[in-house]
Structure formats: C-alpha cells, structure tokens
Amino acid sequence: MKKILRVFIFFLIIFPCAACADEAVKMEKIVVTSRRDPSAGGTSAEGFPIQALGSADISQAEPNALPDLFNNLPGLDLRYRGTYGIQGDLSVRGSTFEQSAVLIDGIKVNDPQTGHYNMDIPLTVFDVERIGINKSGYSARYGSGAFAGETNIITGIPQKKALKLNFTFGEHALSTEAFSLSYPYGSLLSRVSYEHALSKAARPNTDFEYHTASFYLNKEFGQSTLDSLFGYQKKDYGADSFYSNLYKEEEEHTETFFTKVGVSAPISRGTLKNNLYLRRHWDKFILNRNRPTSVNYHTNYIYGLNSLYSLPLAQARLSLGIDLGDELINSTNIGKHSRSHEAALFGITLPLIDKLNTGLGARVDHYQKWGAIGSYNAGAGFDILKDKLKIKGSFSRSFRLPSFTELYYSDAANRGDADLKKETADNFSAGLDFKQGCMSFNFEGFLRRGSNLIDYTRASVNDIWQATNLGRVDFSGVEAGLRANIGGRGKIFALKEASFSYAYQTADKKADGFLSKYALDILQNRAILGIFTGILGLDFNLELSYTQRYYGSTYISGDVYLGKKIANKAFSMEPFVKVDNFTDANCVDIAGVLLPGRWVKSGLKFEW
C-alpha cells in the first residue's frame, strides 16, 4: 500500500512536468496509442495469436449485452449461466474461467474472489471501440490470470456529438432501454452511457434486472492527455442451479464499480502512460430465496497503478513498465484476506529482416507468499508473400495464483485449500494467415502444457469437492477461419459478408482416479457460420453454430436479425426484429443449467 502511495505522488508530479515539456523543447504532436494497443509489446505481426474486433464487427454482432461479444469466436467459449450478460464464464482454448485475463483499456479487472464475476463489466456496448484478444498465455504482460490468454476491452474516444437510443421488447416480459451521449467540447471529450434490462423469467427462477452506467472524460493539456473512466453496474437475478443442482431457488445480487485515471505524456523520444485504478465488487448470495436462512456477503477490492513507457528505436519499439497492486476481500464465509504484488516488465518488437518480425517480452512479479515469479513470451511472423501470406509462431510461460475462493471458501459441498500452489503453463502456437482481395483465411494449432492446475476434484459422487492441484494436463487443438467481405449492393439481394470458423480442443491429463469439476470440462468441437446480407433493402444477419462439449451437451443453435435503417443527414431510425436461438435448441453450457429456448424480441434504434 505504501508503495502505491509513493508512486501516486510520482504520478501527480510527472503529469504537470510533462504537460509543460513543449515549453523547453519543440516537438510534433504525438498521438498516444498505448491505451488502445491490445498487446502493448506483441501483435499478430510478431506471430502472437491475436484477434481483433473492430467497431464494424461490434455493430454487426447485434449483442444483447457486452459479454455477448465474446460468444461464438473461434478459440473462445463464453459459458452462460444467465443470458443478457447476467453471468458467464469465459474460457480461452480450453481454460477454466479463472485462467483468462479480462482488461479494460489495458487494466486487468479479474475478480480476486472468483472468475465467475469476471464478466461483471460496468460498461455498455456504446462505450466499446474495439476488443483485442490474445489466445495464448500472456503473463509476460499482465501477470497472474493471463494464464491462457487475455481479452482487452478498449473504450472509444468521442470524436463528434452524438446521441444514441435503443429500446427492446420481447417474450418473457423483456424490456431494455439504453442511451449514450457523446459531447466533444474543444479539447474536452466526454461520453455518458446508461443501460437497463428487465425480464420476468425464460424459465422458473431465472428472472433478472440490471443497470449499467458509465462516464468517460478525455482532456488534452499541451502534449499530455488525461483520460478517466467511471463505471457502475447493479444486477439482481434468480440463479436456478447456478452453483449446485440441489438448489433450484438460489438468488444473487451484485454491484460492480470501476474507475481509472490515466495520463499519457511525451518523455524524451517516447511516451509514458500512467494508470491509477480501483475496482470494487460486492455480492449477496442467497441459497434459497423462499427461505433466506443461508446468506453470504462478499466485498472485494483491487486497486493499483501501472506505468508503461514506449520508446520507438528505428524500426523497433521498446516497452518498459511497472505494475503495483493490492487485492482485498471481506466475506462472511471466506473471511478477511489481502495480498499485494510488485512487478517489472519489458517488451520489444523488432524486424530482423525485411519480411521477418519478432517480439519478445518478460515480466517478474513478487508476492509475499509466493516470492518472485518470472514469465516470458516470444513470437515471430514471416511474410512469404507480403500482405498476402504469412506464417507465424509463438511460445510463452504463464502462471496463475489461486483465487480467494479456491484458498479459503468452505461449505457443505465445496472446500478450499490454503496451501494451493500456483499454476504454470508453457504455451505454443503456430499457424498461417492468408489474404487475397476480399477473402481471408487463417489456420492455427496450439498446445498448452499445464502444471499444478487448480480444480475441484473428488474420488466419488459421495465426496465433497476439494480444491487441489491436479498435476499436469496438456490442452491442444486447431482453429481455422474463412471470411469474405463481399460488400454486395444489389437492390433485391446483396451478400455483404460471409464467414465460417471451426475449432477443436482436447485435454490429456497425466493423472487419474478422480472426478473433475471444471478443468477438464471443455468445449471439444465448434463450427460457426455467419451470413450478413441485404434483402429488399433490409439488413438480414444470420449466425448458426454447432457446439459439442467434452463432457455434456451437443446442440445446434442460431440467432437471426432483421432490420431496416431509415436515415437522413442528421437522424437515423432502425426498427428491428431479433430471434435468439431460433432453432429452439436445448443449450446447456454449465451442467444442470438449461439456457432459454427460442426468444423473440423487437425494438427501435435512434441516432442523432
């Protein structure tokens, strides 16, 4: 804590000094990109398995809530307990929900209590400009939690005045309202957004209501830029069988608050970016909402500072950084616990020859209990045909510390272990990217060799689940994707875009004689077809997916969207109809939790 306060003082001093830098040295305006870089030291050009969703992809996806953007992407598996972003477990290439890092503008916001709450993100879809996804261990940049990969939600900077309103109504007494107001005023750029959703229940005890609000502010001071973000989210929902199929009437209430203040400034020939951040998460869990005798309360905090200095060196780029943070929890079950870390990191991207780009990163974390922990990564990409055909490969060492739940939680069915060891993994990936005209194709294979993986296990169904280190488990698989941006403009039928992706994953454990609750329950096969067309002047979007789980269900589900945009120079309106799971499949992502069947809704979008 004292270290963070000392760095906070440095943060306050460096900002006004940097803001006055142009008084001593004349220099061109520097466009700061470190906040918006999904990798900050590694990109797909250097061979890392990175995927990006741009603003066009986000708009085209027509998500019900922000977490939906992670659904139906090759290599990612968003396992919903509750739809509309109520609760989902995010997996990257067969990882558990604890093993992938979730970031907002490069700041890790993983919940230290349990990864079940990692998707409690207090932002609306209006706030997101793009998303960067790294599908391999990335502890060399983000430390513990980026064990199998990371997803970086990058907020947009308001560039023009705009007002957006969305309304949706549908089956199961569904109603949603959302708005976003962007208001640039000179060098002061601001945005405020709000979203509310309410539904009685698609099936018994799955009612929900949530509110999300955010405020973003960006201000230039000479050569420096200050940006701040405030987000709040409140959820209330029925949680039928969320954590145990023995309890059909569970109920949960959560509140999430996140804020960060960042300052970027030119220093010498490079750019220094400092971020102060705080996340607070509170939840109230009721085992039986009709007989609320068993109630647990949990409140946790993460806060700290990260600082990254980026320096261009001829054609290379050097990054040096520090990361300081604390995690605390106060729980009626887990008790009071805290831990802090200090980390230093390094990254460089370097073209060795004309067609070969390389990237290298390393980081050392220090924890009082676990001591010093090192992680690293390296990647290379070679252009066989410039801007057309590239081969790439990467490897990394990553780690994860156990959550507070895995360490200390205990009830009649589950028991933590305060002596758990850290998880480690060696990650390997190799593949190729091809692009010709409007067509693009990618193929990639991966291997993750995990050691001391943490899971809940038991010898028989009569035993309780015990948190333990499994030993070694290897995860491997392949991914392939084909995309055609056709951009058809026919009046009757216009095929704008078509895509197809396939992912296969498998797990090979080196120990047996036990039942696994999470770590080995992975997505085995998934194929996704997307078609985006215009029919008689209407936008018609279809997404169809085939899902087969290693232990569990197999189903074919799909979503369809039909809308008509009516616009003039200053105003647009779009009435629409959307059908989720139009195949009415029995979708089960979590054992014992049946997701809604076919769900019809309609609404209006307005934009000024």
Q: What is the mean pLDDT of the chain?
A: 89
Nearest to 276 by CA among 290, 292, 264: 264
**Between 2 and 254, residue with greater pLDDT:** 254
Q: What is the mean pLDDT of residues 249-265?
A: 95
Q: What is the pTM of this model?
A: 0.91
- List the domains of the chain with CATH numbers: 2-439+449-607 (2.40.170.20)
- pLDDT tens digit string along 405-414? 999 998 877 8
Residue 451: how many other CB atoms lie within 10 Å: 18
| Residue 528 pLDDT grade (very low, low, confident, very high; cuts 50, 70, 90) | very high
pLDDT of 18 over the 50 cut? no
Q: What is the mean pLDDT of residues 61-65?
A: 91
Task: List, as one string, the DSSP characters of 139-167.
Answer: HHHH-TT-SSEEEEEEEPPP-S-EEEEEE
pLDDT of 276 over the 60 cut? yes
SS (H, E, C) 24-52: HCCCCCCCCCCCCCCCCCCCHHHCCCEEE
What is the model's pLDDT at position 1?
A: 53
What is the model's pLDDT at position 42?
A: 46
CA–CA separation, 69 and 59 (whole Å): 10
- Residues with Cβ within 8 Å of 28's Cβ and at least 6 positions away in sequence, in order, are none
Q: What is the mean pLDDT of residues 362-379?
A: 95
What is the model's pLDDT at position 590?
A: 83
Q: What percentage of residues in the chain have a pLDDT greater than 90?
A: 69
What is the model's pLDDT at position 433?
A: 94
**Between 28 and 306, residue with greater pLDDT:** 306
Per the CB < 8 A criterion, the answer to whether 39 and 94 are in contact is: no
What is the model's pLDDT at position 28?
A: 36
Q: What percentage of residues in the chain have a pLDDT greater than 70?
A: 92
Q: Which of 25-39, 109-123, 378-392, 411-425 has the lowest mean pLDDT?
A: 25-39
| Residue 21 pLDDT grade (very low, low, confident, very high; cuts 50, 70, 90) | very low
Per the CB < 8 A criterion, the answer to whether 104 and 12 are in contact is: no
What is the model's pLDDT at position 514?
A: 75
What is the model's pLDDT at position 388?
A: 92
| Residue 138 pLDDT grade (very low, low, confident, very high; cuts 50, 70, 90) | very high
CA–CA separation, 328 and 157 (whole Å): 32
Helix (H, G, I), strand (E, B) or coil at 522: coil
Q: How far is CA 436 from CA 387, 433, 439, 485, in A?
A: 9, 10, 5, 11
Q: Which DSSP helix (H) or strand (E) runs through 237?
A: strand 224-238
Q: Mean pLDDT highest for which of 70-84, 287-301, 392-406, 479-493?
A: 392-406
Indicate the length of the chain as a whole number: 608
| Residue 35 pLDDT grade (very low, low, confident, very high; cuts 50, 70, 90) | very low
**Between 99 and 291, residue with greater pLDDT:** 99
pLDDT of 30 over the 90 cut? no
What is the model's pLDDT at position 513?
A: 67
The structure tokens listed for 552 are 């569990």
Question: String of b and e for 290-321 (b: at least 16 CB within 10 Å)?
Answer: eeeeeebebbbbbbbbbbbbbbeeeeebbbbb
CA angle 326, 295, 117 (to 5 degrees): 40
What is the model's pLDDT at position 309?
A: 96
Residue 419 burial (C-beta neighbours within 10 Å; 0-12, 13-18, 19+): exposed
- Residues with Cβ within 8 Å of 445's Cβ and at least 6 positions away in sequence, in order, are 429, 430, 431, 476, 477, 478, 479
pLDDT of 16 over the 50 cut? no
What is the model's pLDDT at position 511?
A: 64
**Greatest CA separation found in the chain?**
74
Task: List, as one string, the DSSP characters of 375-415.
Answer: EEEEEEEEEEETTTEEEEEEEEEEEEPPPHHHHH-B-SSEE
pLDDT of 15 over the 60 cut? no
SS (H, E, C) 418-461: CCCCCEEEEEEEEEEEEEECCEEEEEEEEEEEEECCEEEEECCC
What is the model's pLDDT at position 132?
A: 93
pLDDT of 2 over the 80 cut? no
CA–CA separation, 222 and 20 (whole Å): 7
